[in-house]
Amino acid sequence: MDISTVNSLPYEDFVNIFGNVVEKCPIITAAVWSSRPFVSLSALEAAISEFIDSLPESGKEGVLRCHPDLAGRDLRRGTLTRESREEQARAGLHALEPAEASRMARLNEEYKQRFGFPFVVCARMNDSTSILRQLAEGCRSELAAERARGIAEVKKICRVRLRGLVLDDVSNKL
Ligand code: 2AL
């Protein structure tokens, strides 16, 4: 799909297609539809990013809370969204060694206890080793820093998901 097709979508289709570019936050997609037409994929991405930045801190924490744990219960139960399932599998999180899996579970719980939202990282840009390292570091970090880092990761996840749906500006010109 190219950007002119995106711009021609009625909001129902727009939300159906792009509703999970920010995990389980279709309200963000529904809100940015008002900013059409987008001159490019980057402009759509920027509109989403600006909407997230405009949220109060509690709203940003809410966005983080919509993300499933990495290698968590949803993965074990098969209840991840399609996007999350693919991302977590790509990072090898479905095939952790038992020792890694229990360390991940323990650190995820510690992180959630400390901050009240889950540890979020763009799984497509990491592997299980780098995720575990960042998760351990995050557990020793501070609330404002972790909220900001998590939101920056949400935007990376969004970028990857958008690129899977819309031809980017360069390939559009080919
Ligand atoms: C996720 C997820 O489901 N996909 C991804 O890239 N990151 N979750 C998370 N807690 O970071």
- 3-class secondary-structure state, position 129: helix
Please tell me the total count of domains within the chain.
2
Asked, for residue 142, whether it belongs to a domain, the answer is yes
Q: Which of 67, 147, 159, 161 is catalytic?
A: 67
State if residue 108 touches ligand 1 by the CB under 6 angstroms criterion: no
Task: Place 8 in a pLDDT band, splitting at 50, 70 and 90.
Answer: very high
Asked, for residue 126, whether it belongs to a domain, the answer is yes
Catalytic-residue membership of 94: no
pLDDT in tens, 126-137: 999 999 999 999
- 3-class secondary-structure state, position 56: coil
Same domain for 28 and 57? yes
Asked, for residue 101, whether it belongs to a domain, the answer is yes
Q: What is the pTM of this model?
A: 0.96
Distance CA 43, CA 131 (A): 29
Distance CA 167, CA 151 (A): 24
Residue type, 95: A
Q: Which residues constitute the domain of residue 168?
A: 3-62+162-173
Same domain for 85 and 129? yes
pLDDT in tens, 28-65: 999 999 999 999 999 999 999 999 999 999 999 999 99
CATH number of the domain to which 82 belongs: 1.10.3330.10
Same domain for 73 and 54? no
